[in-house]
Amino acid sequence: MKKMLLGILVSIGFIGMIAYKFDYKQFAEIWTKINYFLIIPAFGLQIIGAIFSSIRWYYLLEKNIKLKHAISSSFIGYGANMVLPARGGDLFRVYYCRKESGLKSLNLLSKLFLEKIMDFILVIILGIICFSLHNLQKPSSKGTMAVFTISGLIVFGIFVTLYIIRFQNKFIVNILEFVGKKLNKEELLSHHLIPHVKDMGEFLKIKNLIKPLFYSSLMWTFYLLVHFVSAKMLQLDLNFLEIGFLVFCGGMSLALPSAPSGVGVYHASIISGFVLLSRTPGQGLQFATIQHLVTFIILSSTGLLFYLYWTYRRRHSKDDIQLEEE
């Protein structure tokens, strides 16, 4: 509850910052130039990107769940993220997969954690490449360099952690066993935590990561295309390097607590990106608004459809079981 309130307060704060001294006349004028015919392609690209993300989830779970359930759980989770605070949809995805596959929650959470690490690293790499190639050599870019420096240190720390889990797995297990003995929690750790540390170490082999990384790349490629279509919808002349930088800005906003779907925080991040690209805040707000609406509408609606079908199927499967027992 406290995290939810914090997220809402952070979003309200960013919305207030956006509203302060904003040029609403320029913002209104931009809407008259919008090309609404490009909304359908944007929706289609967003769905394709989400499908690739679902397939990645299927391989992260090492095919221990049916592909249809991986897709259904992912779409329901994405839809729930649009209306629940603190990325609640991700937890619902874990709940769904536990119900449909029998996988343990800690196992699912460890794979969810790995998924987020993949996304974070790919977005950071994308941002660094686009930032470097676009050559944002101006005083206003110093803040961005600081962000990249901090992000780079975080990525380095993640790589070190993954290296230790992969190649020093036995050492970690020995430490956990030692701690368990000292705290009289040996049985708890040996049954609930240590098996998943071993599982994570085994999974972090190149052969197990190739397909998830491949589908991650496809997913982010289509999300880049969604942003590109959104820019064309507004008749904004943004090249792919600028689009990539804006995707980085939007991705970093997910690291902050916010209201459902990242409203406010996401908009502020995109506006900051536009300012660093020497463009107007009005253009940034409209681009963020369009991109947010495209994502919200298509993911919340498809997520609702998948959820209704899932609840219908589970309810009727229970009824069939009861009839067979009678």
Q: What pLDDT score does 10 carry?
A: 47
Q: Check whether 85 has a pLDDT greater than 80.
A: no
Lowest mean pLDDT among 114-123, 255-264, 307-316: 255-264
**Predicted TM-score (pTM) above 0.85:** no
As a whole number, the mean pLDDT across the chain is: 82
Number of domains in the chain: 1
- Please report, rounded to a whole number, the percentage of residues in the chain having pLDDT higher than 70: 79
Q: What pLDDT score does 280 carry?
A: 84
If you average pLDDT over residues 288-298, what whole number do you get?
91
**Which residue reads 């979003």 in tokens?**
11
Q: Please give the C-alpha separations between residue 49 and each of 74, 262, 324, in angstroms, as whole numbers.
A: 11, 19, 41
Lowest mean pLDDT among 31-35, 82-86, 146-150, 299-303: 146-150
Q: Which domain holds residue 32?
A: 2-325
Compute φ and ψ for 84, nearest 5 degrees: -110, 140
Higher pLDDT, 152 or 163: 163
Token pair for 268: 């502020």
Higher pLDDT, 216 or 271: 216
DSSP state of 259: S
If you average pLDDT over residues 61-84, what whole number do you get?
93
Nearest to 193 by CA among 211, 210, 180, 208: 180
Q: Where would I find the H helices in the chain?
A: 2-19, 24-31, 39-60, 67-83, 88-101, 105-134, 142-167, 169-182, 186-192, 194-203, 206-233, 240-253, 265-276, 281-325
Q: How far is CA 73 from the centre of its chain?
A: 14
Q: What pLDDT score does 219 carry?
A: 97
> 18, 267 in Cβ contact below 8 A?
yes
